[in-house]
């Protein structure tokens, strides 16, 4: 991944810091409220995204198009914007008086960043409504932009509510998804007719990730990594990362593991984790070669390099040695046909090459990885964002946010 963002949670080995863009309040406390808030609101877009890549906002801006983002988490652009947090939060967390971020021409991020066109408007941006980080806010801001003829050439809008609903009710919940559909109707209704909306715009509807239905029993769902890795010590969140043998960055269905000592090898960790049949894949890079294990198969890994005689449906070529069942692929006439893991090699190389040396593990469908501070969801699992922390911080006082 050229953008250098490995996931929601990752470990910066140079700074010896576990970066978490948002999960649970207990984890925020242990990692440090200041660091977690700054990572989510400032560093993600200002410094963590590689300067060697362009976001879509920057690319379009260079071509002369105006751009906008509403409640998007990643939004780096060329325009400076003020982040408006209550003064008591800045004092409590020792934050600078002025917090700025760089985004597209128009940026709306809940109550923290509001474009002039909606300042003073009646919107669902109170504590009860998660300070604007909700579907209604996203739709209302978009509606106002359209009606006031201030819609940018390119606009990305995020509707976060269904993620939470799916965690509680399962990934296939049409009654809850219908709520999102109503907000899409609000946007279409902002035009004189839906026909006009379709004539004047190209709408692209997409999901930012998938979700997987979990097993019914929490005991069956959760793969507790710490007991599996015994006697190796997993670094507690409150301690210095190097105080243990392994740092874990848990992203629920997958996790990065970082040995902090040469006495612990990837092979040592693999041997421990393979004891649990709910673990799916384990992989790492040796130079330019992917070493990939699949639980339940023999002890020999599949070895893969970029470029080679085998070509996939994405026109990528690979050198492959080992049992193709490890990746659930079929090789025929030098063509690769994917099974349950479409584009697995590109995904693995992207994850493992995105930052400092690490190994990655995945859980089989229906299961999630459990470590300190990582929640086990009720019905479906994926990643969550920093809404809970922002809501909690802003609830400490009734002090209004300055616009």
pLDDT digits (tens, 9 = 90+) for 148-166: 999 999 999 998 877 776 7
* Spatial separation of the C-alpha atoms in residues 139 and 54, rounded to whole Å: 27
Q: Beta-carbon neighbour count of residue 26 at 10 Å?
A: 12
Mean pLDDT of 339-362: 95
Least confident of 1-10, 69-78, 83-92: 83-92
What average pLDDT does the chain have?
85
Mean pLDDT of 190-213: 87
For residue 362, name the pLDDT band (cuts at 50, 70, 90): very high
pLDDT digits (tens, 9 = 90+) for 227-276: 999 999 999 998 888 899 999 999 989 999 999 999 999 999 999 999 99
pLDDT digits (tens, 9 = 90+) for 383-400: 333 333 333 333 333 333
* Spatial separation of the C-alpha atoms in residues 218 and 214, rounded to whole Å: 9
Per DSSP, what are the bridge partners of residue 103?
79
Name the burial class of residue 201, with classes exposed (0-12), middle (13-18) and buried (19+) by CB atoms within 10 angstroms of its CB.
middle
Closest listed residue to residue 140, CA positions, set 66, 65, 71: 71
Q: How far is CA 150 from CA 66, 106, 226, in A?
A: 10, 10, 52
Whose tokens are 């700074």? That residue is 15
Closest listed residue to residue 151, CA positions, set 203, 73, 229, 96: 203
* Spatial separation of the C-alpha atoms in residues 18 and 243, rounded to whole Å: 13
CB 77 within 8 A of CB 67: yes
DSSP 118: G
Phi, psi of 254 (to 5 degrees): -140, 165
- Predicted confidence at residue 87, as pLDDT, reads 67
Q: Beta-carbon neighbour count of residue 400 at 10 Å?
A: 9
Q: How far is CA 129 from CA 121, 122, 158, 292, in A?
A: 15, 12, 15, 44
Q: How far is CA 300 from CA 139, 323, 344, in A?
A: 52, 8, 18
* Spatial separation of the C-alpha atoms in residues 79 and 103, rounded to whole Å: 5
Q: Is the pLDDT of residue 52 over 60?
A: yes
- Predicted confidence at residue 207, as pLDDT, reads 79
Closest listed residue to residue 293, CA positions, set 362, 225, 231: 362
For residue 377, name the pLDDT band (cuts at 50, 70, 90): low
DSSP 149: T
| Percent of the chain whose pLDDT exceeds 90 | 57
Closest listed residue to residue 273, CA positions, set 286, 254, 251, 287: 254
pLDDT digits (tens, 9 = 90+) for 107-137: 998 877 778 877 666 665 544 345 467 888 8
Mean pLDDT of 3-31: 84
């Amino acid at each position: 991944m050229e953008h250098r963002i490995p996931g929601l949670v990752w470990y910066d080995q140079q700074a010896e810091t576990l970066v978490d863009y948002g999960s649970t309040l207990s984890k925020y406390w242990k990692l440090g409220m200041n660091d977690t808030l700054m990572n989510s609101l400032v560093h993600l877009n200002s410094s963590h995204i590689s300067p060697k890549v362009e976001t879509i906002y920057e690319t379009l801006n260079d071509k002369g198009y105006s751009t906008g983002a509403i409640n998007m988490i990643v939004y780096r652009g060329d325009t400076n914007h003020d982040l408006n947090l209550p003064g008591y939060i800045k004092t409590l967390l020792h934050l600078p008086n002025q917090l700025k971020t760089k985004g597209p021409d128009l940026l709306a991020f809940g109550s923290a960043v509001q474009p002039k066109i909606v300042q003073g408007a009646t919107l669902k941006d109170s504590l009860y409504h998660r300070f604007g980080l909700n579907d209604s806010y996203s739709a209302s801001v978009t509606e106002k932009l359209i009606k006031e003829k201030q819609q940018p050439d390119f606009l990305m809008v995020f509707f976060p509510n269904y993620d939470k609903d799916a965690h509680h009710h399962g990934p296939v919940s049409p009654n809850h998804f219908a709520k999102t559909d109503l907000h899409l109707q609000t946007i279409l209704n902002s035009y004189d007719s839906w026909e006009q909306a379709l004539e004047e715009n190209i709408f692209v509807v997409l999901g930012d990730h998938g979700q997987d239905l979990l097993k019914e029993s929490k005991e069956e769902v959760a793969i507790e990594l710490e007991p599996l890795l015994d006697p190796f010590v997993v670094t507690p969140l409150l301690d210095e990362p190097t105080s243990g043998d392994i740092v874990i960055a848990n992203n629920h269905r997958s996790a990065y593991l970082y040995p902090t000592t040469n006495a612990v090898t990837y092979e040592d960790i693999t041997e421990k984790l393979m004891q649990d049949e709910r673990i799916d894949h384990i992989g790492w890079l040796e130079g330019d070669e992917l070493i990939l294990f699949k639980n339940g198969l023999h002890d020999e890994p599949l070895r893969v390099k970029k470029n080679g005689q085998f070509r996939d449906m994405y026109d990528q070529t690979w050198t492959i040695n080992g049992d193709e069942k490890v990746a659930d692929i079929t090789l025929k006439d030098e063509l690769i046909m994917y099974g349950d893991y479409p584009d697995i090699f590109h995904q693995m190389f992207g994850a493992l090459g995105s930052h400092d040396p690490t190994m990655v593990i995945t859980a089989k469908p229906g299961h999630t990885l459990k470590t300190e501070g990582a929640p086990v969801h009720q019905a479906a699992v994926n990643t969550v964002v920093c809404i809970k922390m922002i809501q909690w911080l802003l609830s400490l006082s009734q002090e209004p946010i300055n616009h």
